[in-house]
Amino acid sequence: MAMPRYFFHTQIGEDVISDPTGIELRDPDAAWEAARDTIRAALHDPQDQARLMTACLVVTDEAAEVVLEFPFSEAVVLPPLDDPTRH
């Protein structure tokens, strides 16, 4: 049985960067994990962080139905307040 295909579209304000190929994943939970990992990778570059904090990854299925919307700001992991490396 084929796995469902999910498409990860990046929305920044009115601009949308479409994902024309998508990726096959087992279920919406796996799509959520892939979205989180994709966002965290994109936020790895400090120069892009401020601009991308208003972005949202919109995940759709093969029928173009929205499966989930994942704001980039929700993927940020802050170090604990007592972490000496936190500025």
pLDDT tens, 18-63? 999 999 999 999 999 999 999 988 888 778 777 888 999 999 999 9
Domain ranges for the chain, please list them.
5-75
Distance, in Å, from the CA atom of 77 to the CA atom of 79, rounded to the nearest integer, reads 7
Name the band, by pLDDT with cuts 50, 70 and 90, for residue 87: low
Ranges assigned E (strand) in 1-87: 5-12, 15-17, 23-24, 56-60, 66-71
Tens digit of each residue's pLDDT (9 = 90 or more) over 63-80:
999 999 999 998 876 666
pLDDT of residue 44: 83
Rama region for 67: left / alpha / beta (φ>0; ψ in -120 to 50; rest): alpha
Name the band, by pLDDT with cuts 50, 70 and 90, for residue 7: very high
pLDDT of residue 84: 62
